[in-house]
């Protein structure tokens, strides 16, 4: 099966990140639940403030993407928001986001759900819409305020963040899309039933049959169908539920640490779910030079991966300073104690 | 509470995008939008989306909040002077009340204002936070 390619040249016109101000250190979770004795997977995670949710974070990331694209929201013909923490069970986040950006009313809008792959699935939808010639400009967002059950190992890493991408025609793009592969299968590695507040993970399914099977298959398929090797890429960005999985998968695909380290943010902001791999991509676009290639593979439980190959254009250095760098959001941080964190995220039922 | 839905909905663009008014006669910018200029009483007022950048003009810290805002206590309500000149009364966010100063550079963000109970709608609107340099 060949890689999917757009029927006309397209790319990313603008990208934007958002990471909330608050941080919860893993050592603080270990102190409360494990007497400080647990082995912690990361240093800290980003936590949304009490007035933030997937919608507010999506809006800020999208405004940054529009600023870099240099276009007004009214140019958007589609607004797709991928998340597993949409504030409403019934009522789209995407119409609120579109209204806040000044997009529509003549526009497509929908919420996308696919665990941590929801944002890259939205990106694939935008690529398809613009690549087919049905529209000239589409917005894809991944945004999550992920929650782990208190004391569960997910609580160390389940973080908050958002990333947004404006997809449009190649002549205005900061990075061109060369091709993509999507790969899915029915895998019970992680799930949350409709009325449940916290998700469950399917034990032995999380590593090999989940993350590694899908990331490696999608990544290998894209490399072989494009006739490329890892050495053709300056950067590789993978979904990052913890620091170990993406490093091991990237190494198995044949990449080197200097290719994956710039886009590996999980140790400082946690697993931001639908935004996780996309935020890594924003961090890489903040530093990539014209002509450099970026290899991207997301992963969402349930399960699936989207792999994309991008090449940076000469427009990127001119436009990246039109919005805050991902590193500035990472640097802006206020530590929380566990009690304040529990209050912010509604973990105490009154 | 459901009676407020039409009013909340009608104001959504002003709240989401900080759209105010500018008098075509005297040039005064103001928020929220009104049909008549508060300065010269001219009736030729255009709608304008403001930049969202401004400075704290004055502020007060709230320790005892009205219904729906209890979870944010203590928080700061400020009068922000926008670069366009308009004054906007708004909650500050992402800031410790002790860090707020007159003249502090701030920028507009979209945040939750409140919810109409656990099964009600969520009201979103503008707040201001310390400016993040890009
Ligand atoms: Zn006037």
Q: Residue A137 catalytic?
A: no
Domain ranges of chain A: 10-174+319-339, 175-315
Query: Buried (b) or exposed (e) across A134-154, using 16+ Cβ within 10 A?
Result: ebbbbbbbbbbbbbbebebbb
- Would you say residue A1 has pLDDT above 80? no
- Alpha-carbon torsion B56, A341, A274, B16, what sign? negative
Contact criterion met (CB < 8 Å) for A51 and B17:
no
**Binning pLDDT at 50, 70 and 90, where does residue A349 land?**
low
**Binning pLDDT at 50, 70 and 90, where does residue A211 land?**
very high
| A328 vs B: CB within 8 A | yes
- Would you say residue A248 has pLDDT above 90? yes
- Alpha-carbon torsion B65, B69, B71, B72, what sign? negative
Q: What percent of chain A has pLDDT over 70?
A: 99
Residue window 288-327, chain A: list those with CB within 8 Å of chain B.
321-325
Among the partner-chain residues B12, B49, B110, the one whose CB lies closest to the CB of A56 is: B110
When mean pLDDT is compared across A172-176, A316-320, B13-17, B66-70, the lowest value belongs to B66-70
Fold classification of A10-174+319-339 is Peroxisomal Thiolase; Chain A, domain 1 (3.40.47)
Look at residue A88 in the predicted model and tell me its pLDDT: 95
Give the range of the structural domain holding residue B50, as residue numbers without chain letter.
5-130
Model-level ipTM above the cut of 0.90: yes
Distance CA A247, CA A244 (A): 5
Min Cα separation B18/chain A (Å):
10
Which of A298, A83, A309, A310 lies closest to A184 in space, CA to CA?
A298
Q: Residue A116 catalytic?
A: yes
Among the partner-chain residues B94, B113, B124, the one whose CB lies closest to the CB of A49 is: B94
Q: Which tokens go with B114?
A: 């409140």
The mean per-residue pLDDT over the stretch A293-307 comes to 97
Look at residue A350 in the predicted model and tell me its pLDDT: 59
Contact criterion met (CB < 8 Å) for B134 and A323:
yes
Q: CATH number for A175-315: choose from 3.40.50.300, 3.40.47.10, 3.40.640.10, 3.40.30.10.
A: 3.40.47.10
Residues of A in contact with B49 (CB under 8 A): 102
The mean per-residue pLDDT over the stretch A73-95 comes to 97
Look at residue A147 in the predicted model and tell me its pLDDT: 83
Q: Residue A34 catalytic?
A: no
How many structural domains does chain B have? 1
Q: Which residue of A has its CA nearest to B120?
A: A88
Contact criterion met (CB < 8 Å) for A56 and B93:
no
Do A175-315 and A10-174+319-339 have the same topology in CATH? yes
When mean pLDDT is compared across A259-263, B37-41, B116-120, the lowest value belongs to B116-120
Instruction: Quick: pLDDT tens for A304-340.
Output: 999 999 999 999 999 999 999 999 999 999 999 999 9
Average pLDDT score, chain A:
95
The mean per-residue pLDDT over the stretch B93-103 comes to 97
């Amino acid at each position: 099966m060949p890689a999917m390619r757009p029927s006309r040249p397209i790319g990313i016109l603008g990208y934007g990140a958002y990471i909330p101000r608050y941080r919860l250190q893993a050592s603080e979770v270990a102190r409360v639940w494990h007497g400080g004795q647990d082995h912690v997977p990361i240093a800290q995670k980003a936590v949304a403030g009490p007035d933030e949710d997937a919608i507010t974070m999506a809006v800020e990331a999208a405004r940054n993407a529009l600023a870099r694209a240099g276009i007004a929201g009214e140019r958007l013909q589609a607004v797709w928001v991928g998340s597993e923490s949409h504030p409403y069970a019934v009522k789209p986040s995407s119409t609120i986001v579109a209204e806040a950006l000044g997009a529509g009313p003549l526009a497509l809008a929908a919420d996308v759900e696919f665990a941590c792959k929801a944002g890259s699935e939205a990106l694939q939808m935008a690529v398809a819409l613009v690549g087919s010639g049905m529209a000239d400009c589409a917005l894809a967002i991944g945004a999550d305020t992920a929650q782990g059950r208190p004391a569960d190992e997910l609580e160390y890493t389940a973080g908050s963040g958002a990333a947004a991408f404006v997809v449009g025609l190649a002549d205005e793009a900061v990075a061109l899309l060369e091709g993509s592969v999507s790969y899915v299968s029915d895998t019970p590695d992680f799930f949350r039933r409709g009325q449940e507040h916290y998700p469950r993970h399917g034990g032995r399914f999380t590593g090999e049959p989940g993350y590694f099977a899908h990331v490696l298959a999608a990544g290998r398929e894209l490399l072989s169908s494009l006739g490329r090797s890892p050495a053709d890429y300056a950067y590789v960005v993978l979904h990052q539920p913890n620091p170990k999985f993406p490093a091991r998968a990237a190494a198995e695909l044949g990449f080197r640490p200097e290719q994956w380290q710039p886009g590996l943010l999980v140790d400082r902001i946690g697993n931001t779910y639908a935004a996780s791999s996309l935020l890594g991509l924003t961090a890489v676009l903040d530093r990539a030079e014209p002509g450099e290639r970026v290899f991207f593979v997301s992963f969402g439980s349930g399960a699936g991966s989207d792999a994309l190959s991008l090449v940076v254009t000469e427009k990127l250095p001119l436009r990246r300073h039109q919005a805050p760098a991902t590193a500035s959001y990472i640097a802006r941080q206020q530590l929380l104690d566990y009690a304040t964190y529990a209050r912010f995220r509604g973990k105490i039922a009154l | 509470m459901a009676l407020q839905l039409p009013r909340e909905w009608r104001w959504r663009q002003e709240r989401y995008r900080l759209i105010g008014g500018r008098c075509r006669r005297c040039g005064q910018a103001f928020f929220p939008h009104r049909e008549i200029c508060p300065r010269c009483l001219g009736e030729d007022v255009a709608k304008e989306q403001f930049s969202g950048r401004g400075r704290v003009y004055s502020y007060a810290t709230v320790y005892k909040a009205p219904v729906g805002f209890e979870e944010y206590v203590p928080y700061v309500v400020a009068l922000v002077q926008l670069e366009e000149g308009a004054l906007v009364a708004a909650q500050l966010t992402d800031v410790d009340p002790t860090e707020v100063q007159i003249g502090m550079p701030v920028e507009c963000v979209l945040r939750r204002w409140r919810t109409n109970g656990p099964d009600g709608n969520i009201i979103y609107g503008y707040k201001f936070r310390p400016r993040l340099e890009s």
